[in-house]
Structure 1
Amino acid sequence: MTLGSHSSSNMLPHRVVLNARQMPGYAYGPRSPIWWGTVGFAAAEGMGFALAVGMYFYLVFINGNWPLSAPPPDLLWSSIFTTLLLISIWPNQRAKRDGEREGLARTRRNLVLMSLIGVALLGIRVFEFGTLHVRWDQNAYGSVVWLLLGLHTLHLLTDLGDTIVLTVLMFTRHGHGKRFSDVGDNAFYWYFVVASWLPIYVVIYWFPRWW
């Protein structure tokens, strides 16, 4: 009894300072843990691209004649691909902006447009593989060119799949809240897909012409 009374006398009254019940469970940009995960993912994959490019130039260094037993790849489809990829920055930025504003109708429109652009890019990439003038197993040059193009195609396919799934979700009852934050993360990764392609495009298509 004495112990209970002593404990009660030491208890302080509680005062509610802030009710966090109505605060959202998601955030945008660097305030989101998923955003930092995407940054780490892009950094790791960027290192993979850097290693593949390093492999390419190592082969250039040990072989005086480059490219090996093949003319440089054609520029038509790769240039169309690069142009469309750069154009996609605009609707991608609009998707990010409208997602942060949580405008459902505009976000849906932008995601549909990005999905269509992704499908078009993937189709162009198929034609692009046919203009390399070298098989993947023909020699070291063919292997490293197909590796570089294949790595970027894998990233393009990954982001396209994520965009299509996110687009479908935005047309269901799940199209609210955290899904808008996912739109921003998806847009951020697309910037990585664009930025990683530009040096690869120069290495594969223009360096052999300069060399």
Structure 2
Amino acid sequence: MSERPAALDVSVLPAHAFGSRGLAWWATVGFIVIEAGMFAMVIASLFYLHGEEAQWPPAPFAPPELLWGTVNTAILLLSAWPNHEMRLAAERLDLAGVRRWILVADAFSVAFLAVRWLELGDLNVRWDSNAYGSVVWVLIGFHTFHLLTDAIESMVLTAMVLGSPGPRRYVDVSENGIYWYFVVVVWIPIYAVVYLLPRWW
């Protein structure tokens, strides 16, 4: 009777993997679920406050100006394309493609953050004016914080891939791309409730 080995030999398995086979993917998805829940709670709070007011936004405040928020929406939606190309290049282990597309993606994130600064001046309410102002600033502020931290992470990854990246960096670039999709998608309902809701309902 032959004895079974006491342990499996996993030395031939890769140290990194793309998608659901990798731990980083699960961590990214878990973080996205938590953050989506947080944004949903803030949006629900906005709807609750809206239901308590006869006019939205409450007098004497005007709705936010559409210009910079709409420009930023366009920038963010367009940023999904270089981000997608960057992810595909990372999953092909195409260093030249990763280097090219991560620089383009970085440019979009910097452009968005620059326009966001202009956007904040056109919200027509301060964060401490009333509950409406607080919830609008919390939504915009949280989204800005997510963009800023992802932009910083992306720039750190850029510095790494412009050097001599190991195989693990390709996975990091891919996971960063997944998170950017979330940042783009979550902006759509935020834009709707901050910019369109006060004009339509």
Q: Normalising by the residue count of structure 1, what TM-score does the alignment of the two structures yield?
A: 0.89
- 1:92 aligned to 2:79? no
- 1:110 aligned to 2:134? no
- 1:65 aligned to 2:55? yes
Query: Residue 191 of structure 2 aligns with which residue?
Result: 201
Q: Over alpha carbons, which structure has the higher Rg?
A: 1
Indicate the RMSD between aligned Cα atoms, in angstroms.
Answer: 1.8
Query: Residue 30 of structure 2 aligns with which residue?
Result: 40
Query: Residue 118 of structure 2 aligns with which residue?
Result: 127
Query: Residue 39 of structure 2 aligns with which residue?
Result: 49
Q: What's the secondary structure of 2:163's corresponding residue?
A: coil
- 1:154 aligned to 2:145? yes
Q: Aligned partners of 1:52 and 1:19: how far apart in 2?
A: 48
Q: Which runs of 4+ in 1 moved over 3 A?
A: 18-23
Q: Aligned partners of 1:56 and 1:184: how far apart in 2?
A: 34
Q: What's the secondary structure of 1:70's corresponding residue?
A: coil
The runs of 5 or more residues in structure 2 that have no matched partner are none
Q: Equivalences for 1:9-20 in 2 at 5 Å?
A: none
The runs of 5 or more residues in structure 1 that have no matched partner are 1-9
Provide Cα deviations, 1:168-188, integer angstroms capped at 9, x if missing partner.
001122x12010011110000
Paired residues in the alignment total 198
Identity of aligned residues (%): 45
Deviation at 1:116, TM superposition (A): 1.1
Q: Aligned partners of 2:136 and 2:184: how far apart in 1?
A: 18
